[in-house]
Amino acid sequence: MSLRVLFVGGFQKIGKSGHVGGQAFACTSLVESDWGKTINWHLLDTMAETNQKRSFLYRLKKAIQRFAEMYRVLRKGEVDQVLIFSSAGFSFVEKGLMARMAKRYHKPVMFAPRSGLILDSMENSKWMHNYVRNTISLVDRVICQGESWQEFYQNLAGGPDEKYVVIHNWISSDPYLANVPDLSIRQSRKEMKVLFLGWINQNKGIFDLLDAAEMVRDLPIQFVVGGNGTHFEEVLKQIKDRKLEGKVDMRNWITGTDKMDVLRECDAFVLPSYREGYPNAPLEAMASGLPVIVSAISSLPDLITDGVNGYLFEPGDAGKMASIFTELAQHPEKRLQVGKAGRERVLTNNSLENATTHLQRMFSDLTK
């Protein structure tokens, strides 16, 4: 008989607003994997239709509907284990209550906190700090997106080492390898294009990127910005005010074949975020052979060795960002070298097969 698992997560590959979520990919790829096909899943979709602000009453109504569904499944004994993927804020509160409900019905709970914004929630609220600690304490396994998160959660809540399982975020690398099979084509380009993909808001460091773009105004470097969000219009205004129209190409969400095209078109990738869990975009860029320039936060230093398979800088340090852009623009052979190393890192460290192997072992341990 197949193991029956209630999986609380996000399963819409593209949200109604057009955004593509890393959490949705993570959840759906597990379910659709060869290993996932051996599991009898009950999927409980908690993915928001949009990242734009929604009323508390609207979110509460949706949460109550999900709790009712979870209660029905647990009461009827339709599942053996519970796997929960959580973001920050309201999402974490909801998922923490779900974990408590599952434990009330004596179900093993595997809990995967997947947002760097959890740190902000804890810093801004003593209640939230205690709630996160208590939630982590009561679950059976905590799926950590890197060694830094493993250390953080174990220091927060205690417990044995085996409770905290490191599973680096995963992607399917094959499409990116096929999209850019020969990395050397980028060396002959006279102009370097730097790609940003993500939400357009202050947390993603978009205004720091504009500062860095100003600093390299006179160099043959162009920026392609793909995404949308709360500061999209403000960024457009600042591009005009700073006279960066010919420097920064603002696009909306770039998905599907368009994303593959832009990954092939560009020469480097940047993500100057202040908070992250373990973002997909740098993994996709590395699999495409792009040297990545990212802020040294959360799990990114677990993934990247500075100057070897990517570049790290402190969040908010636009000057450092600009100096890395300058070095890569002046040394195309360095772009190729670092891009190749980044691709190798993702292939060995961030495969779906690695993730499913860890999960299979964890499910088996909790079945005993």
- Structural domain boundaries in the chain: 4-170+351-367, 174-349
Please report the pLDDT score of residue 56 as a whole number. 80
Intrachain domains 4-170+351-367 and 174-349 with the same fold: yes
Please report the pLDDT score of residue 213 as a whole number. 98
> CATH homologous superfamily for 174-349?
Glycogen Phosphorylase B; (3.40.50.2000)
Please report the pLDDT score of residue 52 as a whole number. 54
> What are residue 251's DSSP bridge partners?
226
CATH assignment of 4-170+351-367?
A: 3.40.50.2000
Please report the pLDDT score of residue 51 as a whole number. 54
Dist. CA 334–CA 329, nearest whole Å: 9
Please report the pLDDT score of residue 1 as a whole number. 75
Please report the pLDDT score of residue 210 as a whole number. 98
Please report the pLDDT score of residue 122 as a whole number. 96
Please report the pLDDT score of residue 121 as a whole number. 93
Please report the pLDDT score of residue 20 as a whole number. 55
Please report the pLDDT score of residue 53 as a whole number. 63
Half-sphere exposure of 26 (CA within 13 A, CB side): 32
Three-state secondary structure of the chain: CCCEEEEEECCCCCCCCCCCCHHHHHHHHHHHCCCHHHCEEEEEECCCCCCCCCCHHHHHHHHHHHHHHHHHHHHCCCCCEEEEEECCCHHHHHHHHHHHHHHHCCCCEEEEECCCCHHHHHHHCHHHHHHHHHHHHHCCEEEECCHHHHHHHHHHHCCCHHHEEECCCCECCHHHHHHCCCHHHHHHCCCEEEEEECCCCHHHCHHHHHHHHHHCCCCCEEEEEECCCCCHHHHHHHHHHCCCCCCEEEECCCCHHHHHHHHHHCCEEEECCCCCCCCHHHHHHHHCCCCEEEECCCCHHHHCCECCCEEEECCCCHHHHHHHHHHHHHCHHHHHHHHHHHHHHHHHHCEHHHHHHHHHHHHHHHHC
Dist. CA 25–CA 42, nearest whole Å: 17
Which residues in 40-58 are b (16+ Cβ under 10 Å) and which e? ebbebebbbeeeeeeeeee
| pLDDT means over runs of 10, the chain (368 residues) | 94 59 88 96 84 74 94 97 96 97 98 94 96 98 96 97 96 94 85 97 97 97 97 98 96 95 97 94 97 96 97 98 98 96 96 95 92
